[in-house]
Amino acid sequence: MIYKIVKYGAPVLEASAKRVTEFDAELKKLTEDMFESMYAAQGVGLAAPQIGMGLHLAVIDVTVGKNPEAKIVLANPEIIYVEGEQREEEGCLSLPGFRGNVLRPRFVTVRAQDVAGKSFEMRGEGLLARAFCHETDHLNGVLFIQHLGLLKRDLIKRKIRKLAKAGDW
């Protein structure tokens, strides 16, 4: 099932999400639907609040479906180690059409649980490190525009208000 992706302005995107406690068939189905929804939108990551669910759950695939082994489910993720810096353009499926340069660590180690509830740690570099940060931020109610300078952020917000007024958001 493909979920509609919630856009900036929806309160669920800026609320803090709840921990995943039930690692059951329902959770497995939800993660499969999240991958399907993410691929349909051509994203590399999707967090549960982006489909309207306030859960500490995200999916990532930096190959956008090209390599089935690149599928990562993060339940209750925490960033436990960062190293270096990278500044790259970043976007978000909840802010379609907007991008901005965001400073992130070059290497990131995340600790999370998989879809069965098993704990694991994973180190990512470059785009994967960026995705770990971006998705973990989502679960804490933080969007990438909060990492931009005030002027750039306000410009984006103004443009979105205009789009919303015209019924195009």
Q: Which spans of this chain sit near Ni ion (rule: CB under 5 A)?
A: 92
Determine the 3-state secondary structure of 11 from DSSP. helix
Residue 52 near residue 82 (C-beta atoms within 8 A): no
CA 124 – CA 128 distance, rounded (Å): 5
Positions of E strands within the chain? 45-47, 57-60, 72-83, 86-91, 99-104, 107-113, 119-125
Q: Considering beta carbons, is residue 57 or 92 the nearer one to Ni ion?
A: 92
Nearest approach in angstroms of CB 98 to Ni ion is 11
Nearest approach in angstroms of CB 109 to Ni ion is 20
Residue 59 near residue 34 (C-beta atoms within 8 A): yes
Residue 133 near residue 76 (C-beta atoms within 8 A): no
Q: Considering beta carbons, is residue 22 or 42 the nearer one to Ni ion?
A: 42
Q: Considering beta carbons, is residue 92 or 139 the nearer one to Ni ion?
A: 92
> What residues are labeled active site?
135
Q: Considering beta carbons, is residue 115 or 143 the nearer one to Ni ion?
A: 143
Nearest approach in angstroms of CB 50 to Ni ion is 6
CA 130 – CA 10 distance, rounded (Å): 23
Nearest approach in angstroms of CB 34 to Ni ion is 12
Report which of 148, 151, 37, 68 is spatially closest to residue 102, judged by C-alpha positions: 148
